[in-house]
Copies of this chain bind each other. A is one copy, B any other.
Amino acid sequence: MKKLINSADTVLEESLDGLAAAHADILQLGADRKFVRRRNPKPGKVALISGGGSGHEPLHAGFVGHGMLDAACPGQVFTSPTPDQMIEAAEAVDTGAGVLFIVKNYEGDVMNFTMAAEMAGREVASIVTNDDVAVEKSTYTTGRRGVAGTLIVEKMVGAAAEKGMPLAALKALGDDVNRRTRSMGVALLPCTVPAAGRPNFTLADNEMEMGVGIHGEPGRRRVPLTSADAIAADMVGAILDDLAPSKGSEVLLLVNGFGATPLIELYLMVNSAKRILDGAGITATRFLTGSYVTSLDMAGASITVSVLDDQSKELWDAPVHTAALRWGM
């Protein structure tokens, strides 16, 4: 294992301290680093809280700030945070308008966020994201996995919350964005969890895992490595089959790196994916390209397509000021 760390036991706390030092204008750590919170919550605004296992940075803590999340609860690497983290985060950032949890569909996360919602002693609603079309059931998941599309839900719901939308409407909006959003990923090389010290799965020199999950979970099939165009055709094809957007739809195209894939390859995938969308009569008018929902040092990428309407375009374009996404301010 080759990593820039001091000890497998302290990776998360040291990384959170670095994040807090670098972005002190935006965020601060809760007691015992149980959560990362927006420095200046907005009174009267619904508080948006997400979280999950670490190792997917910048998700979620990198999306705390104006126009996106009010708090993020980081678990240990690939391990759900605990209900006390979510309860204390809610206590810290709820200004009286209620709390909305945004949860990726993994059994541990759903169980712990559900428990926290019941125990929080305040008004809480939850959105569970499940945008991954690769498989219907997976290692840690009943139903579809929540992956990179989660950041689109966080951005759009975050923008609406900033504008004062109430809790029930935000919950409906988030569910709607999730329904309009589909993803699929491919891994070329596995990742290594620091505490394990060795790769969490193996791939032969010429193999890739098509439909991989963001913890290295198996996907649809293990096949020989092929061209970027063929990979994009496979992933976009699966997404469009499932999403079935009407011809002429406008979409947001997110090409997301898993952590060890250079940007030159991600933009090449944008080109491949866009050509396939164009061929299907679907027009990408919003783009996000980079490593936003990662799997430690896994090599590979995912493609996410989200169908846009006037409201969701306005919400996507709205100002955001977080460590990892920033525009309009």
Which chain A residues have a beta carbon within 8 Å of chain B's beta carbons? Answer: 2-7, 11-12, 14-19, 21-23, 54-55, 57-58, 62, 77, 188-189, 205, 208, 225, 227-229, 231, 253, 259-272, 274, 284, 287, 289, 291, 294, 296-297, 299-301, 326-329
Contact = CB atoms under 8 A, between A and B. Distances in A.
Q: Could you tell me the dominant secondary structure of chain A's interface residues?
A: mixed
Nearest to A326: B327
Given A272-B14, A326-B326, A265 B3 contact: yes
Contact of A228 (B4, B57, B62, B205): B4
Contacts of A21: 270-271, 274, 284, 287
B15 A261 contact: no
Contact of A329 (B19, B231, B294, B328): B328
B260 A15 contact: no
Contact of A4 (B2, B23, B77, B268): B268
B299 A265 contact: no
Nearest to A323: B289
B268 A188 contact: no
A262 B259 contact: yes
Q: 4 nearest interchain CB pairs?
A: A18-B271, A18-B270, A18-B267, A22-B287
Max chain B C-beta neighbours (<10 A), residue from A54, A259, A300, A328: A259
Contacts of A2: 188-189, 205, 208, 225, 299
27 contacts: A2-B189, A2-B205, A2-B225, A3-B188, A4-B228, A4-B265, A4-B268, A4-B269, A4-B300, A5-B228, A6-B272, A14-B228, A15-B268, A18-B268, A19-B267, A21-B274, A21-B287, A22-B289, A58-B263, A259-B262, A260-B261, A260-B297, A262-B294, A291-B291, A297-B299, A326-B326, A326-B327
Contacts of A289: 18, 22
B264 A296 contact: yes
A141 to B, nearest CB: 22
Contacts of A7: 227
A229 to B, nearest CB: 5
A259 B272 CA distance: 21
Given A21-B287, A22-B270, A267-B57, A261 B299 contact: no
Contacts of A267: 15-16, 18-19, 22, 57
A84 B231 CA distance: 35
Given A11-B264, A260-B262, A287 B5 contact: no
